[in-house]
Structure 1
Amino acid sequence: MTLYGIKNCDTVRKARKWLDKNQPNISFHDFREDGLDKEQLTHWVALIGWEKLFNKRSTSFRNLSDADKADIDQDKAIELMLNHPTLIKRPVLVVDDKIQVGFKEADYQAWFNS
């Protein structure tokens, strides 16, 4: 089990705190420090779709050029997320071939109790 995100993100901190208390054997992978490869990101997109993973409400998205914001499809979204990891909704929790994006305590409780 791995939690992906950026360590100074408030939502990631909340998820890490909950996981430390309830599921202590989860490793953490920081997008900025540890990087992210295209194969991994493509796999996530195949599991949940780029639209769920790509954060159009982020400051990073607002700071993109108009050309980058236009005509976004799966391939373009993957390239943008690789170049700007802060465009990825956080945190991303991966357990085998299951993926959970974002953090809501009730969702995590339901996921780990299923």
Structure 2
Amino acid sequence: MQAIKKYVEMRKIYHLSTCNTCQRIINDLDLHHEGFEFQNIKEKHISAEELDDLAKKEGSYEALFNRRAMKYRSMGLNEMDLTEDDYRKYILSEYTFLKRPVIIIDDKAFVGNSKKVIAAAQGNL
């Protein structure tokens, strides 16, 4: 029974409430009025199950990984060859490594803030 319920009209956004880019995108797409569940990833980290589900939608954990995070260079990750397991581990251990915003509309995920991604999300509202 749970599998049937999984993709019935899911609308969720993973974001940082202090991120101006996330807030601009939420306002530009008028997501407050679209019935979205909001999850501030600083206050409530993404769960392993949620991350695994996103990785399936996106095709990899690397696609969800934020290389612009300040800690990426400070931890020396830019000098390492990271595996999928590494990407998963770092995203789960530090919220800043999740590329954002992540907009879930039904069974589709829109990850990041590029114009192309945001336009695709808008087209699926």
Measured against the shorter chain, the TM-score band is 0.7 to 0.9
**Does the 8 Å CA contact 1:54/1:89 hold for their aligned counterparts?**
yes
Normalising by structure 2, we get a TM-score of 0.75
Which stretch has the larger CA shift, 3-12 or 23-32? 23-32
Q: Deviation of residue 14 (structure 1)? A: 1.1
Aligned-pair distance for 1:40? 0.9
Which ranges of structure 1 fall in alignment gaps of 5 or more residues? none
Structure 2: how far apart are the matches of 1:38 and 1:68? 24
- From 39, 51, 55, the counterpart of 2:62: 51
**Structure showing the higher helix proportion among its residues:** 1
In 1, are the aligned partners of 2:110 and 2:120 still within 8 Å (CA)? no
Q: Deviations over 1:43-75 (max 9, x none)?
A: 1112112222111122121222x3796231111
Q: In 2, distance between residues paired with 1:105 and 1:25?
A: 22
Is 1:94–2:104 an aligned residue pair? yes
Q: Which amino acid aligns with 1:51?
A: E
Q: Answer yes or no: is 1:36 the counterpart of 2:36.
A: no
| Residue in structure 2 matched with residue 62 of structure 1 by the alignment | 73
Deviates more, 1:98-107 or 1:78-87: 98-107
Task: Kindly report the root-mean-square deviation, in angstroms, between the aligned alpha carbons of the 2 structures.
Answer: 2.4
Deviates most, 82-91 or 104-113: 104-113
2:29 is aligned with 1:19: yes
- The alpha carbon displacement at 1:11 in A equals 1.5
Asked if the contact 1:11/1:102 (under 8 Å) is kept, the reply is no
Structure 1 letter corresponding to 2:40: D
1:60 and 1:84 in contact (8 A); partners too: no
1:113 aligns with 2:123: yes
